[in-house]
Chains A and B, each alone.
Chain A
Amino acid sequence: MIEVDEKDLIRCPVCEAVNIDRGRDNRCRRCGSPIYRYTHFKTEKSWAYLITAIIAYVPANLYPMLVTTQFGKTEESTIVGGIIVMWESGSYPIAAVIFFASILVPIMKFLILVYLLINVKYPMGKDKKINKHKLYYMTEVVGPWSMIDVFVVAILAALIHMHNVEIIAGTAATAFALSVFFTLLAAQAFDESLIKENH
Chain B
Amino acid sequence: MAFRYLIYLVTIIAMKLENEDALDHLIICDQCRTLHEEIPIEDGTKACCIKCGNVLYRYDSRLTDHGLALSLTALIFFAVANFFPIVQIEMLGNEQFITIPMTFLSLFENGFYFVGLMCAVVLFLFPLTIFALLVLLFLLLKLKKGEELSRSLLIGLSFMKPWSMNDIFLISILVALVKLIGYAQIHMGIAFWALVVFVLLDIYMTKHIHLKDIWMLREQIFMEKE
Contacts and interface: CB of A to CB of B under 8 A. Distances in A.
Interface of A: 1-6, 9-11, 14-20, 29-33, 86, 91, 93-94, 97-98, 131, 133-134, 137, 140, 144-145, 147-148, 150-152, 154-165, 168-169, 173-174, 177-178, 181, 184, 188, 195, 197
A147 B165 contact: yes
B212 interface: yes
B12 A158 contact: no
A136 to B, nearest CB: 9
A152 to B, nearest CB: 5
Q: Interface majority SS on B: helix, strand, loop or mixed?
A: helix
A150 B123 CA distance: 12
Interface string B10-37: 1011111111100110111011110100
A9 B171 CA distance: 40
Interface residues of B, number: 65
A18 B168 contact: no
Interface of B: 9-10, 12-20, 23-24, 26-28, 30-33, 35, 52, 87, 89, 91-92, 94, 96, 98, 102-107, 110, 112, 114-115, 118-119, 122-123, 151, 154-155, 158-159, 162-163, 165, 168-169, 171-173, 175-176, 178-180, 211-212, 215, 219
Contacts of B122: 147
A152 B215 contact: no
